[in-house]
Amino acid sequence: MLARIAHELYWLGRNLARAEFTARAVEAVFQAELQGTSDAAPGVSFGSGGLLAMFGDVDESQHSSQALGQLTLDAERPGSMLASIERAREGARTVRDVISAEMWEAINTTALGLRGGGQPGWTAPAGPYLASQYVKERTALIWGVSNRTMLRDEAKCFLDAGGLIEISDMVLRMLRIAMPPGDSAPADGQALILLQAVGGFHAYLRAVTAPPNAHPVARFLLFERAYPDSVAACVDSLNDVFTMADAGPRNSKPVLRVSRLAADLDFQRRALPDGAELTDICKQTQQELARIDQDVAERYFAGAASAGLRR
């Protein structure tokens, strides 16, 4: 596969996942506000201040509603949901001969619908909440269409790899906001909102006997391999897709680094006692994912510039 095509597919996956989890994070803010969460409360995570800290590219002096508007429907903000969808559409347009026609139609319709330019009589979702609901549903549709209509070849591997790295990064960012380090006690209510934000509430209830409190939720989102959006599950899947796509996986720096990260996460899951501090592990894992991202650019994209994970 041409390096240019692999690069576009990788970033198509990242932008789709980024849009989806931005939408989920905005929903989490609404959940926090409905439950009476205040940014002044100890251990707060998903108030507007926590969300701004997570994305880091919004003017923190602005009102919460303005900040949420920037994160969702401001096309000039690179980290906004709308900007991510527009980048995904542009990337999909350049690889239309590689992805399925159904997938292109789903992405194109999503971008047009978010702007209000879809079918006659269609109006764009009004406000951050409705827009985030729309994007969450549409990105789920896009991923489903890709799984059912694309060959499981190198193209699909790079598309999935981008999505997996972005999902891992976003979950880690949410965890680091929800689980402050040091003496700051994480709020159990925030852990419940975090589960709802990543769509893992019902999966948690089925997999874990402990109440959805801060530490068991953090362990679940980090280490539970049976939950597909946990960090460990994403890293395992990342290892699989890179091994499949690489002609020489035994000598591949990205494959070797991902394999080590998967082994480290498995060791930490077994070795760390319940209630152990996990913030440093989240930080170290994010740093390792950034190195993997750079390795991927160097090995597969012929040195093509990679934006890397947001610091």
Query: Does residue 23 carry a pLDDT above 50?
Result: yes
**Whether 199 contacts 20, CB under 8 Å:** no
Give domain limits for the chain: 3-300
- DSSP string of 97-166? TTS-HHHHHHHHHHHHHHHT-SSTT--PPPHHHHHHHHHHHHHHHHHHHHHHHS-SSHHHHHHHHHHHHH
- DSSP string of 207-225? H--S-S-HHHHHHHHHH-T
pLDDT confidence bin for 77, thresholds 50/70/90: confident
| Burial of 290 (C-beta count, 10 Å sphere; 0-12/13-18/19+) | middle
As a whole number, the mean pLDDT across the chain is 84
Does the pTM surpass 0.85? The reply is yes
| Burial of 214 (C-beta count, 10 Å sphere; 0-12/13-18/19+) | buried
- Could you report the per-residue pLDDT of 102-140, keeping only the tens digit for each? 999 999 999 998 887 555 555 556 778 888 899 999 999
Q: Distances in Å between the alpha carbon of 136 and those of 44, 82, 157, 231?
A: 24, 12, 22, 20
| Amino acid 39: pLDDT | 44
Q: Please, what is the angle between helix 279-300 and helix 214-223, to 10°?
A: 20
Q: Give the residue from 70, 1, 10 showing the smallest Cα distance to 293.
A: 10
Place of tokens 């160097």: 298
pLDDT confidence bin for 63, thresholds 50/70/90: low
| Amino acid 51: pLDDT | 61
pLDDT confidence bin for 60, thresholds 50/70/90: low
| Amino acid 68: pLDDT | 74
Query: Which range among 46-50, 131-135, 213-217, 234-238 shows the weakest confidence by mean pLDDT?
Result: 46-50
